[in-house]
Structure 1
């Protein structure tokens, strides 16, 4: 297997004590550099991370996934030899083999960032509410269509040092995904998509996208669209 010492996985964590150590240990078999940002968890996630072998950064209170990602990217980009960066979910939905596939493309092709998508193949396994919400986000966003992105709220992204150095997420909650799309367009980062597998387990579904969060994503996306008009 190719040396992955120039890669850093950034994992935002909020109340994932049940699974985070296993997720990290599995990823560490391929990627030696992982930073977990414990975003004010109340369930022992920090202790689980400490035993897993990952680097741990903690927020004293819950600030939101966007803030955790920004903290993790800032930590990772400050590390010697860091050249490639991955945003990776803590609940076990993302797959290491997809990260390897995306990294291979990023190293060989003229892109700055590769975004995972669930919608380049059969999407019937995706829960109906989630599928409808995510496709509606694309439908109401001219920017997503212009960038040819079909799954802006997929948390699996791989990007280079240029993107890491320029990334400045200011929306702490779920709106950060739309903000990253806006940065891609504004900063002219060269972007493409890669089909990825999302593993929907009973655990991840229990913590997954609720109808309320789906409505919040739609609201955030609609607000951003109207503010640019």
Structure 2
């Protein structure tokens, strides 16, 4: 038995065969319940995932990270005893120690959702271009400002069962992060941020968001917010 038997990590993966086994095996040392959604990978990701003992769900074609997260959350919500749900990246950027802190805050009962932030405590890890894009995204989004977020597009989140059950991600691609923030801002869920330590390796930098993608997300936020008025 583990003190984290009621926690499920949801990991979306697309062509992560180089690192996915190490990421999952490392996470399972703390969190025994992990579901990895292979989002139509063209490499051997699924083979490596199966060897870890994690639960594997496969999309026959690539649908996007938002769709993979929604599939993973739905799968985890259906598991007996599941109370807390963490979205966790497949490329090795996220740390299980941060998830432990976030779950601990949820267990206190005064918060429904805990979002990770790269900017509450500055540690110099975030590349300067990414820093500018991410801080701009948080600034231009009225919903992020409403929640007083410092980091609106951090993929490390932990939700309690109430929040996870109400969340419906409809934007399949990377803009799902904006959708999640918008959903939280329009709900009565209690949201908090905690500082997290993101590791930017050469591999994760190569797999991560380009500057153009970041600008596109900012543009998407502006359109979504304008359409709500």
Q: TM-score, normalised by structure 1?
A: 0.97
Preserved contact between residue 146 and residue 185 of structure 2 (Cα < 8 Å):
no
Render the CA deviation track for 1:45-90: whole Å, top value 9, x for unaligned: 1111010110000000000000000000000000000000000000
Q: CA deviation at 1:141?
A: 1.2
Render the CA deviation track for 1:155-182: whole Å, top value 9, x for unaligned: 0000100011111100000110011011
- Taking the TM superposition and a 5 Å limit, the aligned residue runs for 1:122-141 are 122-141=122-141
For the residue of structure 2 that corresponds to 1:189, the secondary structure is: coil
Give the equivalent residue in structure 2 for 1:145.
145
Matched, 1:7 2:7: yes
Distance (Å, rounded) in 2 between the aligned partners of 1:129 and 1:221: 19
Distance (Å, rounded) in 2 between the aligned partners of 1:150 and 1:44: 36
Count of aligned residue pairs for this structure pair: 229
Give the equivalent residue in structure 1 for 2:163.
163
Matched, 1:16 2:16: yes
Preserved contact between residue 6 and residue 81 of structure 2 (Cα < 8 Å):
yes
For the residue of structure 2 that corresponds to 1:47, the secondary structure is: helix
Q: CA deviation at 1:30?
A: 0.6
Distance (Å, rounded) in 2 between the aligned partners of 1:141 and 1:219: 10
For the residue of structure 1 that corresponds to 2:172, the secondary structure is: coil
Q: CA deviation at 1:2?
A: 6.1
Distance (Å, rounded) in 2 between the aligned partners of 1:21 and 1:101: 24
Render the CA deviation track for 1:15-64: whole Å, top value 9, x for unaligned: 10000001000110111100000000001111110101100000000000
For the aligned residues, what is the CA RMSD? 1.2
Render the CA deviation track for 1:139-163: whole Å, top value 9, x for unaligned: 1112111111111110000010001
Distance (Å, rounded) in 1 between the aligned partners of 2:168 and 2:122: 34
Preserved contact between residue 125 and residue 198 of structure 2 (Cα < 8 Å):
no
Unaligned 5+ residue runs, structure 1?
Answer: none
- Taking the TM superposition and a 5 Å limit, the aligned residue runs for 1:184-223 are 184-223=184-223
Distance (Å, rounded) in 2 between the aligned partners of 1:123 and 1:129: 15
Unaligned 5+ residue runs, structure 2?
Answer: none
> Which of structure 1's runs of 4+ aligned residues deviate more than 2 A?
none
Distance (Å, rounded) in 2 between the aligned partners of 1:228 and 1:115: 24
- Taking the TM superposition and a 5 Å limit, the aligned residue runs for 1:4-153 are 4-153=4-153
Q: CA deviation at 1:125?
A: 2.5
Preserved contact between residue 144 and residue 185 of structure 2 (Cα < 8 Å):
no
